[in-house]
Amino acid sequence: NKMNAIFKAQLKNANLKLKEHYNNNDLIKQCRIYAREKINNALNKDGTLNWSKLPKLLSSNPKLEKSSKYEVLTKGLALAPSFISEYNTCNFASIGCGLGCLNFSGHGQEHMLHNGKHNVLIARIIRTILYYEYRDQFLKQLHKEIKAFSNYVHNKNIKDNTQLICGIRLNVLSDILWEKIDITLFNNNHTVTFYDYTKNPNRNVSHIPNYSLTFSRNEMNDLYCEQAFNNNMNVAIVFDIKKGYTIPKTFRNKNVLDGDLHDARFLDSKNHYVGLRQKGFKKDTTGFIINTNSFFNPVKIAS
């Protein structure tokens, strides 16, 4: 397939550029050093990790918390995206999504230093190194934290007589094929709804009833949107629209949902685009962010 060859070449080029970009970032280089120090400090003589000296694997953020309005309690695994940890957690990243990555939005903004350290970024790098270098201990701890959170939601439902859904997003900023890494994450946690975005057009998790994937369109994988719809995935797209303004109702003859209302993508109706507003302030010239000038006029949402 000729198109695939072009796509593969583009991917290879994007990965090389992103690797170089992140390897030359002084803040990131500093964070990597701190992360290694913390891991060494948490290592017991027998090679086991003392998890009380390490960041929790599952955490929350403002986007995940929005879902509570929809009766979903969510935690996510925030690894360091792209090559930030020196390991690549986003094999299908394009230059547009790699440089405009949400890693540096919300709690992760570059200026958010505490005593000169970027603790959020250091924690993400630590988790990523542990995932790659201490895989067995990492997975054991991940199972433990998922179980604890799932029990917390279950007990809350009993106590408050509610029907909250327990949601887990394993790839908050990464794109790891969890269905290939550890299928027991899903099989052993039937009451948990797992969901993720992916830029990998070959992923298909329709055989896992409690895992929902949304395909995330960028300037390189655009040609795979149709395939994603055929694989029963919705497609997330980023519009050049600011917070507080409406997004288009339709795009390419399909209906568009407002993806910023919550993060629980498994609640979305099927066969829809999921419209997201542009986060951060970087000017995108790659085509990752869709320019709406020619077909849509955003209106301020009445508060």
The token pair that represents 58 in the structure block: 């599952």
Rounded CA-CA distance 104/28 in Å is: 11
Share of the chain above pLDDT 70, in %: 92
- Binning pLDDT at 50, 70 and 90, where does residue 61 land? confident
Q: Model confidence over 158-191: pLDDT tens digits?
A: 999 999 999 999 999 999 999 999 999 999 999 9
Quick check: helix, strand or coil at residue 101? coil
Give yes or no for residue 219 having a pLDDT over 60: yes
Q: What is the pTM of this model?
A: 0.91
| Predicted pLDDT at 55 | 97
Rounded CA-CA distance 103/125 in Å is: 11
In terms of C-beta density within 10 A (0-12 exposed, 13-18 middle, 19 or more buried), how is residue 8 classed?
exposed
Q: Which residues, listed in sequence order, are joined to residue 169 by a DSSP beta bridge?
A: 76
| CA nearest to 51, candidates 140, 160, 150 | 140
Read off the pLDDT of each residue in 231-256 and give the average, rounded to a whole number. 93
Would you say 179 and 208 are in contact if contact means Cβ atoms under 8 Å apart?
yes
Read off the pLDDT of each residue in 251-278 and give the average, rounded to a whole number. 95
The token pair that represents 270 in the structure block: 């099927």
Read off the pLDDT of each residue in 293-299 and give the average, rounded to a whole number. 90
| Predicted pLDDT at 113 | 66
| Predicted pLDDT at 285 | 79
| Predicted pLDDT at 133 | 98
Alpha-helical segments (H) within the chain:
2-23, 26-41, 62-65, 95-99, 119-133, 135-160, 178-181, 184-187, 225-230
Residue entry with tokens 């792209």? 82
Give the C-alpha distances (Å, rounded to integers) separating 278 from 51, 204, 243, 274, 289. Answer: 36, 27, 8, 13, 7
Q: Model confidence over 77-126: pLDDT tens digits?
A: 999 999 999 999 998 888 777 776 655 555 556 566 666 788 989 999 99
| Predicted pLDDT at 110 | 58
What is the spatial order of strands in the sheet that 58-59 belongs to?
Answer: 58-59, 72-77, 165-169, 192-198, 211-216, 234-239, 273-277, 254-258, 250-251
